[in-house]
Amino acid sequence: MIKIIRENKLLIFLTVLVTLGVLVFNVFHYSTSYGIVEINNVNSLLLVPFILLVCGLGMVLGTTKNTDEIENAYQNQLSEREQQVIELICLGKKNQDIANELFVDITTIKTHINRIYKKTGVKNRRELKFYGKRVLQKSGNQ
């Protein structure tokens, strides 16, 4: 639970901000003269648990799905070389450093990375590093 909180600091901050807006400023209060249903203070207070529930579920569901998909791909779809590339990326190495360490050309590393992106569904190196570290910790490789 603490990991989820650490990884979603921005979402938690925005949730607290919206909650404070509901409680203190009553930003969801509309005038009946405009024909919109009036949401009074009591109804606004009922929105707070709903907002917290939606944001909480979003944090939990948003982090577990990607990790599970990448873990499945890591164990079943990725070649041994692609797994090595992920491990080196998670250590913070750049493409040229990885190529030098594995004794291959840099274009080969770029090909491996593109295949990893397709197989795991991650969009960029930052995302791969984030989820890759979690998978490696789970599998005990790092």
Give the integer Cα–Cα distance in Å for 52 and 59: 11
**71 found inside a domain:** no
pLDDT of 27 higher than 50: no
Average pLDDT of the chain to the nearest whole number: 77
Supply the pTM of this predicted model: 0.56
- Asked if residue 58 and residue 91 are part of one domain, the reply reads no
Instruction: Give strand ranges (E) for the chain.
Output: none
pLDDT above 80: residue 137: yes
Tokens of 4: 């989820």
26 backbone φψ class: left, alpha, beta (φ>0; ψ -120 to 50): left
Write down the pLDDT at residue 108: 95
User: Residue 58: helix, strand or coil by DSSP?
Assistant: helix
Sequence-separated (6 or more) residues with CB below 8 Å from residue 97? 88
The percent of residues above 90 in pLDDT, for the chain, comes to 27
Pair (60, 81) in one structural domain: no
- pLDDT above 80: residue 62: no
In the predicted structure, residue 37 carries a pLDDT above the cut 80: no
57 and 4 together in one domain: yes
Domain that holds residue 53: 1-64
Q: Verify that 87 and 115 share a domain, yes or no.
A: yes
- 76-129 per-position pLDDT tens digit: 889 999 999 999 999 999 999 999 999 999 999 999 999 999 988 888 898 889
Nearest CA-CA partner of 88 in 75, 79, 101, 76? 101
Residue 91 in any domain: the answer is yes
The predicted pLDDT at position 90 comes to 92
Is residue 86 one of the residues assigned to a domain? yes
